[in-house]
Homo-oligomer: A and B are copies of this chain.
Amino acid sequence: MELVFKNTTGLVSVPRHYCPGCTHGVIHRMVAEVIEELGVRESAVGISPVGCSVIAYNYFNCDMQQAAHGRAPALATGIKRVRPDLTVFTYQGDGDLASIGTAETVQAANRGEKVTVIFVNNAIYGMTGGQMAPTTMPGQVTTTSPAGRDVNHCGYPIRVVELLATLRTPAYLVRVSAHDEVHLVQAKQAIRKAFRYQLEGRCFSFVEVLSICPTNWGLSPAEASQWLANTMIPYYPLGEIKTPDDGPVTEAHHAQ
């Protein structure tokens, strides 16, 4: 019997510590599959964040570095600039990337670092026990917004992909979702494309993956997927927001 879906060698085969139903695991698998499919496992360096996926270094079957909270894009920059032959990716949560790591995210994108960022947006700080993230939905109850996120108190959720899309530096910016099987099929394509752009030396590539956190949302995995579909997707539209082919990159404004 041939295995038509078999576990990727891009992951180490150990049980993972994620909660039942948590889509971190699915996203790990897709990234690992792409790395394997593109044949770059032996040149890949991944960077794990601080967040539930902090020990992703135990799961990905490639060289890994563990970054300080929010700084993964800086590490990626450091690695890629001195070893452009390596395939460098970061794997980051929304607290990590969209809060403490805002500057590193925006600036790495703006410099056009030839790295791939996998951004797992679960609208919450998972690891530390469910505090509000910049991506938390209006009205969403968290341990630090016990009455629900009040947009008059701390603003609206940040749409990182749209934010980065205003930068003129070419980039591949896409948002996908991991909440169900159909969206996973699309997500996989986006991740593949993101790594391809890196391998071609074209641009910075960034995949935002909407993800569920049943534990801190206080929902079953199925309910959590529903909530993501009903609440998050309307606010976080899916699709390619920017590709490096967008618009002519004219050199009109060169100075002096």
Give the interface of A toward B (CB within 8 A).
Answer: 99-103, 106-107, 110-112, 134, 137-141, 148-149, 151-159, 162-163, 165-169, 227, 231, 234-235, 251-256
Task: Point out the residues of chain B lying under 8 angstroms from A137, CB to CB.
Answer: 253-255
Is the pair A102, B106 in contact by a Cβ cutoff of 8 Å? yes
| Chain A interface SS verdict (over half) | loop
Copies in the complex: 2
Distance of A231 Cα from B252 Cα, bound (Å):
9
- Measured CB to CB, the closest approach of chain B to A139, in angstroms, equals 4
Is the pair A107, B112 in contact by a Cβ cutoff of 8 Å? no
Is the pair B166, A251 in contact by a Cβ cutoff of 8 Å? no
- Measured CB to CB, the closest approach of chain B to A33, in angstroms, equals 30
A140-B235 in contact given A102-B102, A111-B155, A167-B155 (Cβ < 8 Å): no
Task: Point out the residues of chain B lying under 8 angstroms from A251, CB to CB.
Answer: 138
Distance of A166 Cα from B173 Cα, bound (Å):
15
Is the pair B162, A256 in contact by a Cβ cutoff of 8 Å? no
Contact of A107 (CB < 8 Å), options: B99, B139, B148, B255:
B99
Contact of A155 (CB < 8 Å), options: B166, B169, B252:
B169
Contact of A255 (CB < 8 Å), options: B159, B167, B227, B256:
B227
Task: Point out the residues of chain B lying under 8 angstroms from A110, CB to CB.
Answer: 134, 155-156, 158
- Measured CB to CB, the closest approach of chain B to A120, in angstroms, equals 18
Distance of A254 Cα from B139 Cα, bound (Å):
5
A153 to chain B: closest residue by CB: B111
A252 to chain B: closest residue by CB: B234
A99 to chain B: closest residue by CB: B107
Is the pair A138, B254 in contact by a Cβ cutoff of 8 Å? yes
Task: Point out the residues of chain B lying under 8 angstroms from A140, CB to CB.
Answer: 255-256
- Measured CB to CB, the closest approach of chain B to A213, in angstroms, equals 13
In this complex, which of A101, A168, A231, A252 has the most chain B Cβ atoms within 10 angstroms of its Cβ?
A168
Closest 10 CB pairs of A and B: A102-B103, A137-B255, A139-B254, A155-B169, A156-B168, A103-B103, A140-B255, A235-B253, A111-B155, A110-B155
Task: Point out the residues of chain B lying under 8 angstroms from A254, CB to CB.
Answer: 137-139, 148
A154-B256 in contact given A163-B106, A163-B167, A166-B159 (Cβ < 8 Å): no
Task: Point out the residues of chain B lying under 8 angstroms from A148, CB to CB.
Answer: 254-256
Is the pair B234, A253 in contact by a Cβ cutoff of 8 Å? yes
- Measured CB to CB, the closest approach of chain B to A92, in angstroms, equals 14
